[in-house]
Structure 1
Amino acid sequence: MQLLRLFMEGLDTVAYWYRSGRFIPGILPLPANALARSGYVDAMCELILNSRLPVGLISIGIQTIPEPCIVNACNEGLLRLRRLGILLHCLNFSGGVDELHWIKEMQLEGVHIDMAQIRERDLASDVLSQLRQSPYSPTQIYASNIGLVKDFENASTLIADHSYGGLMMSPVSRHQMLQINDSRIAKAIFSLHPHPNPNLNGDK
């Protein structure tokens, strides 16, 4: 029940942005053992359908690849979610052979690579090339946990499609985000841009 409650809160956050006129996708992390249980998957499918959110706004983040004993059940659960238009992400990619095989088998939409781990050890270039094996692959690389300028350089070397972390922006709540957007500073910056059409007085 705790897992489903957190899942509902995640859906509510995505719906909050959507109702505010912002098409912001959300990644909801889930453990692999929950995805291997049909009861959880049934409940999540019902919650997703009841949310009535557009396709592409909800992603499931798999924290670790499933153990061999539950991999078939987990894959079946993920495929059921994918039929509802849910995108699939691997959140903690470490470069293992088993991870690569599973990512390619499931054709995940996103792979998140921790830049702190890249600093501590080299991730083989052939591993990354396998992630980008086909130009038509749906998999995109996310450089996560960017905390140093060196992490930006590593993300550029990886040719990451997306980057995020504390150096770029510290975590904020959705209410803080709206306050930033509605602040006087934001309005002042916006007012510096010329308006496309003059008003009746001829002013820009």
Structure 2
Amino acid sequence: MNPFFNCKGTKLTGSLFRPLLTTSDRQLLRLFMEGLDTIAYWHRSGRFIPGILPIPTHTLASNGYVDAMSELILNSRLPVGLVAIGMSSIPGSENLDACKKGLLRLRRLGVLLHFLNYSGSIAELHWITEMQLEGVHIDMRTIREHDLASNERSQLRQSPCSPTQLYASNIGLVTDLENASTLIADHAYGGLMMAPLSRHQMRQINDSRITKAIFSMHPHQRLNHNGDK
């Protein structure tokens, strides 16, 4: 699992279930169930740690897969807000309507929706706006080479009432943390923040020690460009 933190590194805010990033369709439901079990394991241990389960776009357009995922989610009896679906790409025109229906069915179960690989394209922005996604993940390795224009950032944060939160992914350099602060990202994750952990290690993370562990590697006074330390 990749642990997420707020950008100041003071709080564990969630996780990404990595095995689903590279799974085949045949293994998808088994790993999806394992991801739900991991979130439930934390919940039973008294840790409210939201988990993002990456799912291929074409799978979300399949009634059979959506039926099976819905049943697994219902059987997990997890509270609303703990389970999120992560999409790595926007659907093509051939399965656009079916994908929307699948996502809306999952949303009615209390599942949050994330877009994992935002590149700044107009099509992606339209999809994020139309579906009112709860999370948008921006790869900081891309930002090193191509910064998001200020109007793109403002469009992602349409209004104070917008549900969308920004996730700065693949934090590998101090510069990435500075760029995440410039983006006013809500969450950050990557090797510089903390390496992937087992579910047992995730449960044992103590929020009070996170800042010391992360920022012992670099000064954090420069990270917030609004003057807060």
Q: Secondary structure at the match of 1:18?
A: helix
2:25 equivalent to 1:16: no
Instruction: Specify the alignment match of 2:169 in structure 1.
Output: 144
Deviations 1:56-97 (A, max 9, x none): 100000111111111110000000000000000000000000
Q: CA deviation at 1:178?
A: 4.5
Instruction: Specify the alignment match of 1:26 in structure 2.
Output: 51
2:160 equivalent to 1:120: no
Instruction: Specify the alignment match of 1:110 in structure 2.
Output: 135
Deviations 1:75-134 (A, max 9, x none): 000000000000000000000000000100000000000000100222222111100111
Q: Which amino acid aligns with 2:147?
A: D
State, as a whole percentage, how many aligned pairs show the same letter: 75
| 8 Å Cα contact 2:42-2:203 kept in structure 1 | no
2:60 equivalent to 1:47: no
Q: Secondary structure at the match of 1:165?
A: coil
Q: Which runs of 5+ in 2 are unaligned?
A: 1-25, 210-229
2:128 equivalent to 1:100: no
Higher CA-based Rg: 1
Higher relative contact order (CA 8 A, sep 6+): 2
Q: CA deviation at 1:175?
A: 2.0
Q: Which runs of 5+ in 1 are unaligned?
A: 187-204
Determine the C-alpha separation between the residues in 1 that align with 2:67 and 2:202: 33
* Structure 1 residues 179 and 84: CA distance shift in structure 2, 3 A: closer
When the two structures are superposed, what TM-score results if normalisation uses the length of structure 1? 0.86
For the aligned residues, what is the CA RMSD? Answer: 1.5
2:116 equivalent to 1:91: yes
